[in-house]
Amino acid sequence: MKKYTSVFTIVILAILFLVLTENQTIPNIASILLYLSLLFIYVIALGRYALSAYLALVTILGIYISSIFKFGITGQTLHVIDLWLHINTESLFYGFQQFPTMMAAVFVVFLIFLIPCVWLWKLEKRSTPYVALIGCLLIGGVFSWFVSYQNNLHNKGRPSMLFFRDRFHVSSLAFSMLDAADAIARGTIFDYGNATYSEADIPTLSTASVCKSEYQPNLVSVLRESTYILGDFPQTAIGGVKNVDFAALDGRVRRLRVESHGGGTWLAMFSMLTGVSTYGFGDFQTLANVLSDGRLTTTFVSELKNCGYETLVITTGKNGFAKSDALHKTLGIDRVVDIDELRSKYGVEVADEEIYEFVTSVLAERNQDQPIFIFLDTVSTHAPYNDRDRSEELLNVDLMLNNSDIPIAGIEKEYALRVATSNKQFAEFKVNLSRSQGKPVVILDFGDHQPYFTKSYFSTEGVVRVPPNMDHALVTTYYRIDGVNTPKSLYRLTDDIVDIPFLGDALLKSIGFEPSPIYAYRREMMLRCKGRYWKCDQGDAAYKLHRILRKSGAINLF
């Protein structure tokens, strides 16, 4: 009797927690079904009902807390794909690197939650889980019904009344499982669109490089983490950081349309380096690195490599975070320098200044005959935005912000301070390059996804979801292409905004790079569509490009 009382008590507590946090009928049903599924799975594995009920509850709490954490720094709830993408040593390293105190607390709490498992294990003997097997069959039937009607059942992003305006953290994970299962069943992991074009309209283009360009400067692509134009929002339009700070040498500020908000730097890296939009992967967007592993043969990087460029990636994360190592392998990157190698050279605290110093030294030591393409991501403007000890130089920037006409405080002040510092260090990087007598360098500098807090400026509840064919301030940042010691002027697009999959094309066009036939088609599309990937021809141009890439053997995605 004691055993059944324990099972009943734990199950009631779990259901009560889910009802209070979800607070709507359909999400309640989805989250309770998920809990019961976990309970029965544990019973089948362990043969103990009380222990299984407890472990299922702990799992639900883990999902809830993990989703709140993810939502706090990215504005996105937990997705089933995250379990595949981030349960690894690289993600643990990242967590301890960025949030050491919180991660230590999580492990302590985890150990505390495991203590009752010993008592519950002894409470009952292993039994044959007939009830659990029947329960799994019944729940499987209910979930099948959910899949059939899921489009009408979704309530993504709407907050409930309790628990600090919770965003359906548990049911969102359950629905993401249905989304993934539905996409796999329909075979639509990558989107080639409806048959708007006949097969005869889809040409087969050569992927062979032309390599006629005599002018081959070194290329440096700088992805500035979580950076946007502060003046685009009144809340951060401070005098200390002006829009002109993001302008190219011709004085123009150009906008870049990215494909995520609050997080997902690897998505920007993917689209820029491959020329393929991550939106094409639909609900599997965050798995772009994995799903494209070995399935991309013609990319922005391959265009350069086929014409003699050496390739180097410098990342302030671990090579492997978000499966970035799979992308690097697919692209054929010659060398990857990650945070471990940077720390072995510069110590534990690696800032943008050290990264730029490393790039400068690499360029200075090179043979002048072979050009190099360097892709790097910065770290200064990365979350979390808590105050830290600062040098006298940075305090001068802090004073500049304090004297701004617009009062700014808290995380926004911290963020603005870092942007101002990052701009200053980037400017110094260009000055240092200009003093060298080496090969000309063309620099592509562009922003990343915006920090999580900007969505509050629009009173946006829940997850920020901007359709591919729409523009929104929350997915808008900047880009600029400038030369250092370049003997000829650079071609710059005149368009107001460019989608990030065309960023590599814009860089190649700027230096007069002679593209392969398939990249010549991309260039023609970019110019005709004024830099827009998804808004051109109501999306048909993007779908046609995807089909051409597939038919030509440039991509082999599902």
- CA 155, 160, 161 angle in degrees (round to 5)? 160
134 burial via Cβ count (<10 Å: 0-12, 13-18, 19+): exposed
Measured CA distances, 166 to 21, 27, 252 (Å): 7, 12, 42
Are the beta carbons of 397 and 423 closer than 8 angstroms? no
SS3 for 294?
Answer: coil
Q: Give, rounded to a whole angstrom, the gap between the first and last alpha carbons of the chain.
A: 53
Are the beta carbons of 150 and 182 closer than 8 angstroms? yes
Are the beta carbons of 283 and 179 closer than 8 angstroms? yes
Q: Whole-angstrom Cα distance, residue 503 to residue 509?
A: 10
Domain with residues 218-461+483-551, CATH architecture: 3-Layer(aba) Sandwich (3.40)
Extract the tokens encoding 142.
Answer: 């209910």
Residue 128 has phi, psi (to 5 degrees) of: -75, 120
Q: Which residues pair with 478 in a beta bridge?
A: 255
Q: Whole-angstrom Cα distance, residue 487 to residue 42?
A: 68
Average pLDDT over residues 540-556: 93
The answer, yes or no, to whether residue 392 has pLDDT greater than 60, is no
Q: pLDDT at position 176, please?
A: 80
Amino acid at 72: G
Is the pTM value of this prediction over 0.85? no
Measured CA distances, 195 to 201, 202, 284, 437, 551 (Å): 11, 11, 22, 54, 14
Distance of CA 481 to the CA centre of its chain: 23
The answer, yes or no, to whether residue 305 has pLDDT greater than 90, is yes
- CA 75, 459, 255 angle in degrees (round to 5)? 70
Name the nearest CA neighbour of 477 among 402, 410, 419, 394.
419
The answer, yes or no, to whether residue 323 has pLDDT greater than 60, is yes
Query: In 10 A of CB 113, how many CB atoms?
Result: 15
pLDDT tens for 439-482 read: 899 999 999 999 988 888 886 555 677 889 999 999 999 999 99
pLDDT tens for 118-166 read: 888 877 777 666 666 666 666 666 665 654 554 444 444 443 333 333 4
Q: pLDDT at position 6, please?
A: 78
211 burial via Cβ count (<10 Å: 0-12, 13-18, 19+): middle
SS3 for 489?
Answer: coil
Percent with pLDDT over 90 in the chain: 36
Distance of CA 23 to the CA centre of its chain: 30
Among the residue ranges 103-107, 252-256, 279-283, 299-303, the one predicted with the least confidence is 103-107
Domain coordinates of the chain in residue numbers? 2-186, 218-461+483-551
Are the beta carbons of 218 and 372 closer than 8 angstroms? yes
Are the beta carbons of 385 and 411 closer than 8 angstroms? yes
Q: Whole-angstrom Cα distance, residue 182 to residue 169?
A: 20
In which band, very low, low, confident or very high, does the pLDDT at 371 lie, cut at 50, 70 and 90? very high
The answer, yes or no, to whether residue 391 has pLDDT greater than 70, is no
Q: pLDDT at position 156, please?
A: 43
Q: Whole-angstrom Cα distance, residue 245 to residue 229?
A: 9
Q: Which residue has the higher pLDDT, 139 or 231?
A: 231
Reading across the β-sheet that carries 372-377, which strands appear in turn? 335-337, 310-314, 372-377, 218-224, 441-447, 476-484, 254-257, 497-499
Q: What's the mean per-residue pLDDT of the chain? A: 83
Cβ-defined contacts of 147-156 (< 8 Å, 24+): 147/178, 147/181, 147/182, 150/175, 150/178, 150/179, 150/182, 153/26, 153/30, 155/24, 155/26, 155/27, 156/462, 156/463, 156/465
Are the beta carbons of 500 and 256 closer than 8 angstroms? yes
Residues 6+ apart with CB under 8 A from 14: 35, 53, 56, 57, 60
* Total count of residues recorded for the chain: 558
Distance of CA 556 to the CA centre of its chain: 22
Percent with pLDDT over 70 in the chain: 83
Q: Whole-angstrom Cα distance, residue 393 to residue 62?
A: 42
Average pLDDT over residues 350-357: 92
Alpha-carbon dihedral sign for residues 279, 282, 283, 284 = negative
150-155-161-165 Cα dihedral, nearest 10 degrees: 120
Are the beta carbons of 224 and 448 closer than 8 angstroms? yes
